[in-house]
A and B are shown apart, each in its own frame.
Chain A
């Protein structure tokens, strides 16, 4: 079958923060650049980010990038690569000021500088005391960022393909990446985007979990495409969770609710935090609270038919105080839990928020993988940035406001590297004859299959498995069973069936294709988590507890290394963490405590 081919210098998959930032570099360098997105650019998930972007501008008080670097290494529980972390923290001021020039309406101080707020984990003078490092635009930081960058791209003639879904990465026999196949949703037409540089900026994959703060769009398409093309996924066991999302919905309930006196209770209405943290109780740190909640659920003291959530009780508080101090919480209860929180407790559960792992990249934005004995050999023509990539700056845990910084810095560096490589003059390599065959076969199989698995049910089975077996607090036996279960779900995910056979706007088919990506991410996560027998950052295991020999359960002797999950045979290998920054002294290993 002959498939239309569109030729570009660069194709970027994703029009969120990372994709738009890359595109500016390419288009402004005069290169013919296509950006594909499942939704209109300013409807990408970056819009949801409110907290701000980190940069040690020092506008409100003294600050320095080396302090930011220290905080990031510590936050990562020493799993972040220190060369990449130095690169990011040092570049922060530059990319934030650039954004300002693109027209980003940052909040200002009285004397006109960018106003900065404190944010968890960001400290001055190597961990001494909180520092104001977060730059925000009211509660619309992500939204304002996307608008500013979208306008800049329109000026620079970036070509947008909106409501197009990229399907598969095209690689030739020598492993060079030559573009992607993609489907126009309006027509169902599959097209080849033939490019000299391909950049992935497809965002996160938080929808693998039953409870997730991520919008429905976060289906890990970039990771799925990379995995199907034989590229390993790095550090997929590390997911950041938030202790209180509305059970079933995932919508965040601010930690301020516990601050105002909210109490967590189990199925017998017991205030269980008294057992886990006799002093701090419900005000214990995020990790402690999440772990206690997960333990109550695992031990059968959860609530509801499936005993899979606990209760957050504020019925003892004065209604006037709730409405004044916790605006929005009443509405969230009504809309997403069907509960009037003034009269009844809210169902809550630890909820997945951010993916630390992803497609392995160098800090230049080039994708790397083990080849011929080199653990970090470049995959020619392939770049990635933002939440889908693993540079790795977040290591085992991300600091708030560092991900918007990540997408600016690595979106830009991926763009710069692509420009550099393209200026070096490589022509388009020939497309393999079967460039679109795999994508077409996948679509045909979904369209024609009879007696296959239902997409919605398969997704639910995956999400339940991930939530129960690889949630915020992990248990060795549960992880082992989880691997078996997720491989079972995978079988169903390879046999999806849809009823709607239309070409135009077939959302059922699109969701089936997304499911094929989700399962790759879920499998990588479960197998990587089972394999890592220590606790580190966001990966916390019951069987790797805090001991004198292994504080926080972290075992540097054996586990100070990055996981690489190979989708080819579901195997795991490891590569060293880069402990050598570019110009400064390494941040030496220490126990992580706040």
Chain B
């Protein structure tokens, strides 16, 4: 990933509407993101663009992520 693309993504992870996501996504960027495949990284960028409440429901397990494309990355974030 290009530096500027990564830094844009970083900003969109460390400045969320919900504190829960600030913490969870910052932690994942620092420890976990690098281990994703290039394809999964693209999925993560899409996840980071989601509305905060929807994303938090997935990441907290309140609702199950049933989209097969997103599910593995959601699971990776939940484990980090």
Contacts and interface: CB of A to CB of B under 8 A. Distances in A.
B19 A214 contact: yes
A45 B23 contact: no
A510 B52 CA distance: 22
Interface stretch (A93-101, A389-397, A499-507, A552-560): A499-507
B23 A38 contact: no
B17 interface: yes
B18 interface: yes
Interface residues of B, number: 24
B51 A216 contact: no
Interface in A9-59: 38-39, 42-48
Contacts of B20: 251, 335-336
Given A43-B16, A215-B18, A328-B60, A249 B23 contact: yes
Nearest to B60: A331
Contacts of B31: none
Contacts of B10: 505, 507
Summarize A's interface: helix, strand, loop or mixed.
loop
B19 A250 contact: yes
B11 A505 contact: yes
A222 to B, nearest CB: 16
A506 B3 CA distance: 10
Contacts of B16: 39, 43, 215-217
Nearest to B19: A215
A42 B7 contact: no
A328 B61 CA distance: 9
Nearest to B10: A507
B35 interface: no
Contacts of A45: 17
Interface of A: 38-39, 42-48, 140, 143, 163, 185-186, 212-217, 249-251, 327-328, 331, 335-336, 502, 504-507, 510
Given A505-B4, A507-B14, 6 more contacts: A185-B8, A212-B19, A213-B19, A215-B16, A216-B14, A507-B11
11 contacts: A143-B52, A186-B4, A213-B19, A216-B15, A216-B16, A216-B19, A216-B22, A249-B23, A251-B19, A335-B24, A510-B11
